[in-house]
């Protein structure tokens, strides 16, 4: 005879193992939040206010984004840490199957007159052996000099492959930081706290090679204004900040190095 708990679990389509995991997560969350309620003496009115806010958040479709803002990087580091280049969020603006760029040039449009061009290069290595890895797919995308992503075409998007010596090279621009959630409940929360909602300027990257674990990460610009104050908790770490080499002859031309370390799949 099925118990009420097990029949309820089956009704929502979860396995006994998933049910036990859910019970543990729920219990731990309640315990942690009950301590917050106790320590800060949260009132019934405040709980009701929070409930109404979470209703609006859910209706907006932004609840997953708020969880990512506060918890995703912590989750990633305790569940995916593997000794290679640190991972980072994919974000909402990835477009699959970007064009392959044999010459490494990601630009499809003429940028503005104050745009700085970026020659980004490095070596992809095996995390365990340190040996260069050839024919690794590197899938780049980033915002432009105004902090805007191309959602129609593939400007500042593209894929390149490493050479026999593990080297890669792309010609990009130095992206600008940008704000998100200006008109949604996440922005409402940040405004209420007196906080900004800007991302530190970054370049997104996916790294793929058969036999290796896929990597999704973000490369941060070293002269960005929000390196120490990105609104995504824990997103910016020193290992993901690229190194600029200024060009004395042309300040609009920047060179940068960033080596990548990838982890082989278990045998």
| pLDDT (0 to 100) of residue 233 | 94
Q: pTM for the full model?
A: 0.88
CA distance 91 to 232: 11
- Give how far Cα 260 sits from Cα of 77, 89, 120, Å: 17, 16, 12
Residue among 215, 201, 133 nearest 172 (CA): 201
Looking at the predicted structure, is the pLDDT value of residue 46 above 50? yes
Paired sense of beta strands 260-262 and 117-126, if any: parallel
Residue among 62, 53, 81 nearest 189 (CA): 53
| pLDDT (0 to 100) of residue 79 | 87
| pLDDT (0 to 100) of residue 2 | 43
Are the CB atoms for 222 and 229 separated by under 8 Å?
no
Mean pLDDT, range 184-204, rounded to an integer: 95
Looking at the predicted structure, is the pLDDT value of residue 55 above 60? yes
Mean pLDDT, range 177-192, rounded to an integer: 93
Looking at the predicted structure, is the pLDDT value of residue 1 above 60? no
| pLDDT (0 to 100) of residue 240 | 97
Task: Give the list of residues 6+ apart from residue 115 with CB closer than 8 angstroms, or none.
Answer: 144, 145, 173, 174, 252
Tens digit of each residue's pLDDT (9 = 90 or more) over 245-257:
877 778 889 999 9
**Residue 66 is encoded by which pair of tokens?**
């708020």
Mean pLDDT, range 89-101, rounded to an integer: 96
| pLDDT (0 to 100) of residue 241 | 97
| pLDDT (0 to 100) of residue 9 | 53
Paired sense of beta strands 198-199 and 178-179, if any: antiparallel
| pLDDT (0 to 100) of residue 11 | 54
Mean pLDDT, range 81-105, rounded to an integer: 94
Tens digit of each residue's pLDDT (9 = 90 or more) over 211-229:
999 999 999 999 999 999 9
Give percent of the chain above pLDDT 90: 87
Locate the domains of the chain by residue range: 4-79, 117-262
Mean pLDDT, range 149-175, rounded to an integer: 97
pLDDT-derived band at 7 (thresholds 50, 70, 90) equals: low
CA distance 138 to 171: 13
pLDDT-derived band at 10 (thresholds 50, 70, 90) equals: low
| pLDDT (0 to 100) of residue 250 | 83
* Architecture of the domain whose range is 117-262: Sandwich (2.60)
Lowest-confidence segment of 13-17, 49-53, 192-196 by average pLDDT: 13-17
Tens digit of each residue's pLDDT (9 = 90 or more) over 59-77:
999 999 999 999 999 998 8
The separation between CA 53 and the C-alpha centre of its own chain, rounded to angstroms, equals 25
Tens digit of each residue's pLDDT (9 = 90 or more) over 112-130:
998 999 999 999 999 999 9
């Amino acid at each position: 005879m099925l118990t009420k708990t097990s029949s309820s679990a089956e009704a929502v389509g979860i396995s006994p193992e998933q049910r036990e995991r859910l019970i543990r997560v729920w219990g731990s969350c309640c315990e942690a939040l009950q301590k917050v309620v106790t320590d800060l003496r949260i009132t019934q009115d405040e709980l009701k206010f929070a409930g109404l806010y979470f209703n609006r958040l859910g209706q907006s479709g932004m609840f997953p984004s708020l969880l990512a803002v506060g918890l995703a990087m912590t989750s990633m580091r305790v569940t995916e840490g593997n000794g290679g280049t640190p991972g980072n969020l994919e974000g909402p603006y990835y477009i699959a199957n970007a064009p392959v760029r044999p010459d490494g040039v990601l630009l499809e449009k003429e940028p503005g007159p104050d745009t700085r061009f970026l020659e980004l290069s490095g070596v992809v290595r095996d995390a365990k052996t340190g040996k260069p890895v050839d024919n690794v797919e590197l899938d780049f995308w980033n915002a432009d000099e105004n902090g805007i992503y191309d959602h129609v075409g593939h400007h500042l998007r593209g894929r390149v492959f490493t050479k026999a010596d593990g080297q890669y090279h792309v010609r990009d621009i130095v992206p600008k930081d940008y704000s998100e959630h200006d008109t949604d409940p996440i922005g409402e929360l940040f405004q209420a706290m007196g906080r900004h909602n800007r991302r530190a300027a970054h370049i997104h990257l996916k790294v793929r090679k058969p036999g290796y674990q896929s990597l999704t990460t973000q490369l941060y610009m070293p002269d960005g204004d929000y390196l120490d104050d990105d609104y995504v908790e824990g997103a910016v770490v020193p290992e993901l900040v690229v190194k600029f080499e200024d060009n004395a002859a042309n300040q609009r031309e920047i060179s940068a190095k960033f080596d990548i370390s990838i982890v082989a799949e278990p045998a």
